[in-house]
Structure 1
Amino acid sequence: MQTEKVVNHITNWLKEYATNSKTNGFVVGISGGIDSAVTSALCAKTGLRTLCVEMPIHQAASQVTRGQQHIESLKKQFRNVTNIEVDLTPTFETMKSAFPLAEENDQLSLTLANTRARLRMTSLYYFAGLHGYLVAGTGNKIEDFGVGFYTKYGDGGVDLSPIADLLKSEVYEIAEYLGINQEIVEAAPTDGLFGDSRSDEDQIGASYDELEWAMHEDDLGKRVDNFEGRKREVFSIYKRLNNANQHKMNPIPVCEIPLHLKKD
């Protein structure tokens, strides 16, 4: 990958889009992970105002620390970067208490995790509306178009997606070029939505390198019976998630009414 040229291309694309839409800059949710670090750095490089928002909800201290260190590093490099922290833990707990009691199980755990993501999305759009900013998405290609590893109307609710055509390995290449903090680069990817130490790989059952391989093989038209052993397992995981999450990747279905039914 021609990393420098890719970085310049994304930066110019971001600046042009914001200028054409007559918006004042970008707002980015900072998680302490590599995707949000790269996205916020790319937004900062446009020279336009970039607001980094921390939104902890029962967040692990290590994630919070990495996010804060990244923001401080950005602010030293770019005068157009500002930040704010909004502790959403009390709001999340109040919201939970307003809902009917539900049985503690995996489905409740996943539902509450998605609720966290949607609460953060609402917060980002509050600041976007307040300042006339665009919400910059932090999803990469594997997450957004491979396995659908994001929350619909949560971290999937954005105005534009600067790194959604980059594989995870390519995000790491750009992170190295941009000088992203080594602690972030070395940290195991996690969505941080469950309040524990589980990583993305723990949840998905495959690493991003494995998923990139599966995505490539799927694009070539391969089928699960073309593989054996671990490759067969990974390809099956990829296909299962890709099929299950098409509702996230495809446009919202619209019920089109036949014209003859609209006539009296």
Structure 2
Amino acid sequence: MRFHKDILRIDCQAEADRICAFIQQQVAAMKRGGAVIGLSGGVDSALCAELCLRALGKGRVLGLVLPERESNPITTEYVTMHTQKIGLNTVTIDITSALEWFGTYEKRDQVIRAIFPEYNNQCKSKIVLPPDLLSRDAFNFFTLRIEDSDGNVKSTRLNSRSLRCIVAATNTKQRTRMMHLYYYAEMNNYLVCGTTNRTELVQGFFVKYGDGGVDVDPIAHLYKMQVYQLAGHLGVIDEIMERAPSPDTFSFEVTDEEMYFRIPYSTLDLLLYAWENGISVAEVCEAMGLTEEQVKRAFRDFASKYSATRYLRALPLKLEL
């Protein structure tokens, strides 16, 4: 099939039916009574909630809302709006105290204060990659960005040790959520439904044994723009559909594009599909109106991230008898 801009267009009803059948099959195969799903206020979890309800029925799906003190308040508001619309039962648990007990915030803030001594509880922080990958070459070096209570912003490039410490601390948020999901799953004899899409899976934008710690991943074959197609077809609320995708794990708001992908999803997904399927650079350039250097730059970035995050997708290694 020739590569073109509509190559990721899907038959939404047929795809919804296929995914619902898959969910039903997996629940039966694992001898579980239903599914529990973490709700983030984003389009991926909203879509998965819709699909689980259609596959299993309202009495067999439970949604968990797991905010913490740095979560965007709009998250819980949007989750409430959507779950009330679709009739999904939910449990809300604030995980701030668990994170404080572990030292999530303090471990991260110690690293930040070593760089910016003025950083305090009134400041916000995030990490970002260089923007606009298609416009210029730039290595994937992360920058720490802080904002004080007066709106003043400071930035500095992170060394590898500081980056690892910040990421390790931040990832405990997703891993704490995973513990709650499995508690409710085991208590109810449910499986845990994941919400990772293909764009995130291939490029390693998830936390191992965090949001990647699940029993079934019903949308892991769909690129992000396909998620939007299906979510729109199934009636996910406009507020979620129009919200900028974000990991919602930093106090200083950051989008997926800022933090990791460096390309808007509408362009990213087409390029990623082309890279995965061995489409020639020339064919991609013709279809997308990009230069050869832009396409090659994106392909290099995809290959680098795929290689660097290979361990995230790997099962535990073991010796054979």
Q: Place the TM-score, normalised by the shorter chain, in its bin.
A: 0.7 to 0.9
Helix, strand or coil for the counterpart of 1:230?
helix
The aligned residue for residue 103 of structure 1 is 111
The aligned residue for residue 121 of structure 1 is 178
Report the alpha carbon displacement of residue 176 of structure 1 after superposing the two structures with TM. 0.8
Helix, strand or coil for the counterpart of 1:46?
helix
Contact 1:210 1:234 in 2 (8 A): no
CA RMSD in angstroms comes to 2.3
Q: How does 1:184-199 map to 2 (within 5 A)?
A: 184-199=240-255
Determine whether 1:22 maps to 2:17.
no
The TM-score normalised by the length of structure 1 is: 0.87
Q: Which amino acid aligns with 1:162?
A: P
The aligned residue for residue 190 of structure 2 is 133
Report the alpha carbon displacement of residue 93 of structure 1 after superposing the two structures with TM. 1.0
The aligned residue for residue 246 of structure 1 is 310
The aligned residue for residue 44 of structure 1 is 53
Report the alpha carbon displacement of residue 97 of structure 1 after superposing the two structures with TM. 7.0
In structure 1, distance between residues paired with 2:47 and 2:28:
21
For structure 2, the residue ranges without an aligned partner over 5 or more in a row are 1-9, 113-161, 286-290
Q: Flag the structure with higher helix content.
A: 1
The aligned residue for residue 217 of structure 1 is 274
Report the alpha carbon displacement of residue 238 of structure 1 after superposing the two structures with TM. 1.6
Contact 1:27 1:134 in 2 (8 A): yes
2:218 pairs with one of 123, 143, 162? 162
Helix, strand or coil for the counterpart of 2:98?
helix
1:235 pairs with one of 264, 283, 299? 299
Contact 1:224 1:236 in 2 (8 A): no
Report the alpha carbon displacement of residue 3 of structure 1 after superposing the two structures with TM. 0.8
In structure 2, distance between residues paired with 1:43 and 1:212:
25
The percentage of aligned residue pairs carrying the same residue is 29
Report the alpha carbon displacement of residue 217 of structure 1 after superposing the two structures with TM. 2.5
Report the alpha carbon displacement of residue 215 of structure 1 after superposing the two structures with TM. 2.0
In structure 2, distance between residues paired with 1:244 and 1:251:
16
Where relative contact order (Cα < 8 A, 6+ residues apart) is larger, the structure is: 2
The TM-score normalised by the length of structure 2 is: 0.72
Contact 1:60 1:196 in 2 (8 A): no
Count matched residues: 251
Runs of 4+ that moved beyond 4 A: 97-102, 222-227
Contact 2:111 2:166 in 1 (8 A): no
